[in-house]
């Protein structure tokens, strides 16, 4: 099971998302770059970045920060938020150095874009984000309902040639309430997609619940708040070691 730490960037800063993208965010660090370096030193194999400004407004004003991260560390960066046309997707991969692009709203509203992206790049370069609220997919930074169930959306993406989706119940994001195991199971049993679970992980017990689904095709999990707030036993040891390097010291959380 690949564990992928999440860095959410808003106005150039690292924040924590709580259920909604626009209003409910909590500040973590002035420097997402330092956080990325810390995660790399802790031996994570990939990092997910969400450009919250891009997700809400479609304007990737955090591009400079993202570019500095991709050039500062030697592991793949997965980026979501604001990629809604092929020009932006191409720029993100070729100029920013991002390994994989995550699309949510664009995948809902522009199937031709998905086809074009798959033709120009490959399925390994794309993950489609399925953001759920009350068994309905939400879009535009979790603001609007798309009037399609997560399973129907997953099947549609699979029919277009998509190989990987990222699933999260947005009501669980940032509140440590656990993964939506039933929905993950439904998606895995009814498609052949590779699935990344996101949102809700609070502890090793929650992680174990996702790990138990690995044989069904759920091969990775994205974790944010639980890592920042030392919810895993091994994190305390890592933090103590890293605290000796003041340039990489994790900011205190109130």
Known catalytic residues? 8, 131
Instruction: Give the span between the Cα atoms of 155 and 160, in whole angstroms.
Output: 9
Q: Which helix (H) or strand (E) holds 75?
A: none
Q: Is 23 helix (H, G, I), strand (E, B) or coil?
A: strand
Residues constituting the chain:
254
The Cα–Cα gap between 139 and 56 comes to 9
Q: Is the dihedral of CA 118, 123, 126, 132 positive or negative?
A: positive
E strands, the chain, in order:
2-10, 13-18, 20-29, 47-51, 77-80, 100-103, 126-133, 136-139, 144-145, 164-169, 194-198, 218-223
């Amino acid at each position: 099971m690949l564990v992928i730490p999440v860095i959410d960037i808003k106005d150039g800063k690292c924040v924590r998302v709580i259920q909604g993208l626009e209003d409910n965010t909590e500040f973590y660090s002035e420097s997402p770059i330092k956080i990325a370096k810390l995660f790399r030193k802790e031996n994570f194999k990939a990092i997910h970045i969400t450009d919250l400004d891009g997700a809400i407004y479609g304007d990737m004003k955090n591009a400079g920060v993202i570019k500095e991260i991709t050039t500062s560390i030697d592991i793949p960066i997965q980026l979501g938020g604001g990629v809604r046309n092929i020009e932006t997707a191409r720029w993100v991969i070729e100029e920013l150095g991002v390994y994989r692009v995550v699309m949510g709203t664009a995948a809902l509203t522009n199937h031709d874009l998905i086809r074009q992206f798959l033709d120009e790049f490959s399925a390994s370069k794309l993950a489609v984000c399925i953001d759920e609220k009350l068994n309905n997919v939400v879009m535009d930074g979790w603001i609007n309902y798309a009037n399609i169930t997560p399973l129907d959306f997953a099947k549609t993406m699979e029919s277009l040639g998509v190989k990987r989706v990222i699933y999260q119940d947005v009501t669980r994001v940032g509140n440590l309430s656990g993964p939506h195991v039933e929905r993950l199971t439904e998606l895995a049993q009814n498609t052949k997609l590779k699935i990344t679970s996101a949102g809700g992980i609070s502890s090793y017990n929650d992680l174990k619940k996702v790990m138990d689904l690995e044989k069904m095709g759920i091969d990775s999990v994205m974790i944010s708040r639980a890592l920042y707030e030392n919810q895993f036993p091994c994190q305390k040891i890592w933090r103590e070691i890293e605290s000796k390097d003041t340039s990489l010291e994790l900011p205190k959380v109130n």
